[in-house]
Amino acid sequence: MKMVLALLLTLVAAPLAAQTALPPAPWADRQIPDAAQERKAKALMETIRCLTCQSQSIADSNASMAGDMRSQIRERIMAGEQPEAIRAWLVSRYGDWVSYEPTAAPILWPLWAAPLVLLGLGLLLMRGQIKRRKSR
């Protein structure tokens, strides 16, 4: 019984001794010395969704995941990568959802067409109702 109690106590206490936070990424909160590169990085960061917060861009978020993503973007910009290539890399890694910019992939065409179709159906129904009222 004492052995089981000691094991349970160890399992409960182990997470308490774990490190809760890693040091921040090197470029998470530091700007790139080159102002033009920093503008490119900032513009891209404002269009990438924070995976933790989900309602903020990584430029606005204080989450550690957002800091890591900001650092990666800055490092890649300093290495000479173009923002669209970085966006493509982020989308391939985290999915379309990570980007605030909507895609025009063929699988999404019904989603884009749905409002127009529903509007057309509504107009047809309204026209039919008006014709019926006039014929009375």
Alpha helices in 1-136 (DSSP H): 2-17, 35-45, 64-78, 83-94, 109-135
Higher confidence at residue 89 or residue 134? Answer: 89
Q: Tell me the average pLDDT across 111-120.
A: 90
Q: Nearest Cα to 100, choosing from 63, 59, 39?
A: 59
C-beta of residue 57 within 8 angstroms of C-beta of residue 69: no
DSSP class of residue 55 equals: S
pLDDT, the chain, mean? 87
pLDDT value at residue 16: 62
pLDDT tens, position by position, 15-28: 666 555 667 788 98
pLDDT value at residue 87: 95
Window from 2-6, 12-16, 30-34, 119-123 with minimum mean pLDDT = 12-16
Model pTM? Answer: 0.66
Return the axis-axis angle of helices 35-45 and 64-78, rounded to nearest 10°. Answer: 140
Torsions phi, psi of 38, nearest 5? -65, -40
State what percent of residues in the chain have pLDDT above 90. Answer: 54
pLDDT tens, position by position, 59-96: 999 988 999 999 999 999 999 999 999 999 999 999 88
